[in-house]
Chains A and B, each alone.
Chain A
């Protein structure tokens, strides 16, 4: 397995397209080892899916890329996470700056209890941008990107909590896009949504990958197959198999992967 993954890395022609790299990453929570040493490269402008049973470490691993684990009590990590070749766990890294570059969408839609406009403009406002006209432009642009503009353009001052679950999640994506990140992390973004809303989000992911590098954690194998270019299978804090989604879902190398994707466990 080691050699398999490494060989994909070594090819020099694609080396510089690696947006995200993990090097010998281990994560501990108060002595419990959540990630047991993972090396991985994620390509730019592709959708990479993380799959695996609950508690396999895929969400923890995802949250390393925008340092969202930093606030978790007892969190400790070893190894390196590189974005565009820069180690983001170096001392002098500005975490706020990093998170503007690496956006995140969460499992449950979590709009702020504020208006639709305020939700989307928040990421810009905290950067000190207060030019009303510019904010309005960015809000409109971002809402159009997630195909929500037509539904809400007359109600920008309405509370975001009044939107449906699917609309809320698209709003959360728009909020992320407004900050103009280059990477978007999605932690089971559709698990709380109905099939119709899920389809809309998947469609959106497909369109977004031209401009963004997307990493998505999902429990839904069909979804991983539909939206992702690459899929990584995690089990018990280890990366078991990582390949193009087509290959992984049709002809997995590992027995464990096959068992999982065919529904024999997990």
Chain B
């Protein structure tokens, strides 16, 4: 009798504890977003987005950093997507299961765990110096592409793996080659899953700061970049720069930029979720 009561009490206690844990993160996030909104929302207008940087806080805009981020995002996608998907297809469909493939697998997981600043150093040496790209958008994109490559590979493999074996069987039994099966069945069927992984990887890339600082991205760029070989800044670096200024006006600017950056990543995540749901519905 007493024991049952005790158990029930424990049960209740754990439930409350669990609810607390679940909401703690969310509450902190809400407080953070709330305070940022209060600080920065009044600063956001069209001019803030389209203005070039300025020494005066009230005239400074994020245009160059935003364009830098967009450039980086597009180029990183163009570089990482074919590499990552091809590697994933090879590992999942072509590679013979054996020591070599498990070695590759372990090391790809290891790569995913390498701190991003290390990628920055790698990028600095290979892309900026050896390949003489300079502190350009191209060098930054290659560096970030390396950074997200493991994520793209792992999520693409998961998406391909999720296509039922019966689809492969059916395709092979009709006389399709491996490549035809990959191209006409597996990729279309796993498209949503691949896209989800890629978008999540990119939303990480868009928030990366450290590796770009290491390769020499600038905090102050007078004009928006026009070619991939131009110098650049990105939103997180811009935020970092503004935060570290003494004038109060720049703090407001930083808060406003954070809102824009968050809006970009949240939108990307929402698109990822949308595709994932749509894709799951398709595979029933």
Query: Which A residues are closer than 8 A to B by beta carbons?
Result: 66, 68, 71, 73, 96-100, 103-104, 106, 108, 110-114, 122-123, 125-127, 161, 172, 175-176, 179
One digit per residue, 1 when the CB lies within 8 angstroms of any chain A CB and 0 when it does not, for chain B 169-190 equals 1111111110010001100110
Q: Are A179 and B175 in contact, with the CB atoms below 8 A?
A: yes
Q: Are B170 and A127 in contact, with the CB atoms below 8 A?
A: no
Chain A residues positioned under 8 Å from B6 (CB to CB): none
What residue of chain B has the Cβ atom nearest to residue A107's Cβ?
B166
CB distance from B126 to the nearest CB of A (A): 37
A96 touching B175 in the complex, CB below 8 Å, given contacts A112-B185, A122-B184, A126-B180: yes
In the assembled complex, the Cα of A170 lies from the Cα of B227 at a distance in Å of 56
Q: Are A99 and B174 in contact, with the CB atoms below 8 A?
A: yes
What residue of chain B has the Cβ atom nearest to residue A101's Cβ?
B175
Q: Are B169 and A112 in contact, with the CB atoms below 8 A?
A: no
A172 touching B170 in the complex, CB below 8 Å, given contacts A122-B184, A126-B176, A126-B180: yes
- The number of residue pairs between A and B whose CB atoms lie closer than 8 Å in the complex comes to 66
Within 8 Å by CB of B173, from A66, A111, A113, A127, lies A66
Top 8 A-B pairs, shortest CB-CB distance: A110-B166, A123-B174, A104-B173, A100-B175, A99-B175, A96-B175, A110-B170, A126-B176
Q: Are A108 and B166 in contact, with the CB atoms below 8 A?
A: yes
5 contacts between A and B (CB under 8 A): A68-B169, A73-B97, A110-B167, A113-B188, A114-B188
One digit per residue, 1 when the CB lies within 8 angstroms of any chain A CB and 0 when it does not, for chain B 143-179 equals 0000000000000000000001011011111111100
CB distance from A189 to the nearest CB of B (A): 13
A110 touching B169 in the complex, CB below 8 Å, given contacts A96-B177, A123-B174, A179-B175: yes
In the assembled complex, the Cα of A111 lies from the Cα of B284 at a distance in Å of 12
Query: Which B residues are closer than 8 A to A by beta carbons?
Result: 97, 164, 166-167, 169-177, 180, 184-185, 188-189, 282-284
In the assembled complex, the Cα of A112 lies from the Cα of B174 at a distance in Å of 12
A176 touching B174 in the complex, CB below 8 Å, given contacts A73-B97, A110-B164: yes
Q: Are B176 and A103 in contact, with the CB atoms below 8 A?
A: no
What residue of chain B has the Cβ atom nearest to residue A119's Cβ?
B170
CB distance from A103 to the nearest CB of B (A): 7
Q: Are B175 and A126 in contact, with the CB atoms below 8 A?
A: yes
Chain B residues positioned under 8 Å from A99 (CB to CB): 172-175
CB distance from B5 to the nearest CB of A (A): 51
Q: Are A113 and B283 in contact, with the CB atoms below 8 A?
A: yes
In the assembled complex, the Cα of A96 lies from the Cα of B172 at a distance in Å of 8
Chain B residues positioned under 8 Å from A98 (CB to CB): 175
In the assembled complex, the Cα of A104 lies from the Cα of B166 at a distance in Å of 12
Chain B residues positioned under 8 Å from A172 (CB to CB): 170
Central interface residue in B97, B175, B177, by most chain A CB within 10 Å: B175
Chain B residues positioned under 8 Å from A126 (CB to CB): 174-177, 180, 184
Within 8 Å by CB of B175, from A71, A73, A97, A112, lies A97
In the assembled complex, the Cα of A161 lies from the Cα of B171 at a distance in Å of 16
Chain B residues positioned under 8 Å from A71 (CB to CB): 172
Q: Are B282 and A179 in contact, with the CB atoms below 8 A?
A: no
Q: Are A122 and B174 in contact, with the CB atoms below 8 A?
A: yes
In the assembled complex, the Cα of A153 lies from the Cα of B176 at a distance in Å of 26
What residue of chain B has the Cβ atom nearest to residue A74's Cβ?
B97
CB distance from B173 to the nearest CB of A (A): 4
Q: Are B176 and A112 in contact, with the CB atoms below 8 A?
A: no
In the assembled complex, the Cα of A122 lies from the Cα of B166 at a distance in Å of 15
Chain B residues positioned under 8 Å from A73 (CB to CB): 97
Q: Are A106 and B284 in contact, with the CB atoms below 8 A?
A: no
What residue of chain A has the Cβ atom nearest to residue B185's Cβ?
A112
In the assembled complex, the Cα of A159 lies from the Cα of B169 at a distance in Å of 19
Q: Are B189 and A113 in contact, with the CB atoms below 8 A?
A: yes
In the assembled complex, the Cα of A120 lies from the Cα of B171 at a distance in Å of 11
What residue of chain A has the Cβ atom nearest to residue B279's Cβ?
A113
CB distance from A152 to the nearest CB of B (A): 18
